[in-house]
Amino acid sequence: MASLVIGLASLVLGWTVLFPLVGLVLGFLGITSARTAKGMPIAGLILNAVALLGWVLLVLIVVQPWDFSVPPQK
């Protein structure tokens, strides 16, 4: 349940990259400890993975255009 809540909050509120990571860990723990109903942990894993992918894409889009190379010497 906690993974699902964190996943929803991460998507809606756009919190830091730390919350989807915590949600992923809680989702994996929920799947391994659940005996019957695994729907909520799986949904939490999916939501947290989407939120984490969003952060990765954002960082790649923002950081990629910067050129970190050293300018040529004259």
Domain boundaries in the chain?
A: 2-60
> Phi and psi of 3, rounded to 5°?
-65, -40
The residue with greater pLDDT, 48 or 68, is 48
Residues in the chain, how many? 74
pTM across the whole model: 0.75
Mean predicted confidence (pLDDT) in 32-51: 86
Q: What are the distances in angstroms from CA 8 to CA 17, 18, 36, 42, 56? A: 14, 14, 23, 13, 18
Provide the 10 A C-beta neighbour count for residue 9. 16
Which residue matches tokens 């860990």? 25
